[in-house]
Amino acid sequence: MAASAPTGDDYPTMVETVASTSQKSAQTTGTTTTKSSKPYAIGNASWYGKDFDGKPTASGEPYDMYELTAAHRTLPLGSWVKVTNLRNRRWVLVRINDRGPVPVERIIDLSYSAAHILNMSGRGIAKVRLDLVKAPEQTSDIAMLMPLR
């Protein structure tokens, strides 16, 4: 099932952090520095996979462990989030389509494919940074690496 980007009023106005880095010139050295936007949240992420594959999500669509989706407790369904693994700096864009995670010490539950892209290893938990982003204009703007089924 292809991810569909919300349009118009379906998507809430939020901070755009991927493209909204501000640059200011350092007059004393003549160099340019980049200041990152404040993250939406930093905390632990986990992932869910095979046991939930095909089961309905909070959005009503069936969970597909090969889609780039995630579960979050409070973000509006259909929101897009850039998730960065703080250990290795790998990042992925995911669409919020479910509610969770259940453990309160985690801030987001990622699909199997999103966790794989972030190279989450070991216990399947990683410290991540979440940045809210605007929905892509088309879902074809997002490249997905999917294994053959």
Q: What value does the mean pLDDT take over residues 38-66? A: 94
Least confident range of 18-22, 74-78, 80-84: 18-22
- Calpha distance 39→82 (Å, rounded): 10
Quick one: pLDDT at residue 139? 59
| 137 — pLDDT class (breaks 50, 70, 90) | confident
Q: What value does the mean pLDDT take over residues 107-112? A: 97
Q: pLDDT at residue 83 above 80?
A: yes
Quick one: pLDDT at residue 121? 73
Q: What is the pTM of this model?
A: 0.69
Least confident range of 73-82, 91-100, 118-127: 118-127
Domain at 53-136, CATH homologous superfamily: RlpA-like domain (2.40.40.10)
Across 81-104, b (16+ Cβ under 10 Å) vs e yields: bbbbbeeeeebbbbbbbbbbbeee
Quick one: pLDDT at residue 4? 35
Q: What are the extents of the domains in the chain?
A: 53-136
Mean pLDDT of the chain: 76
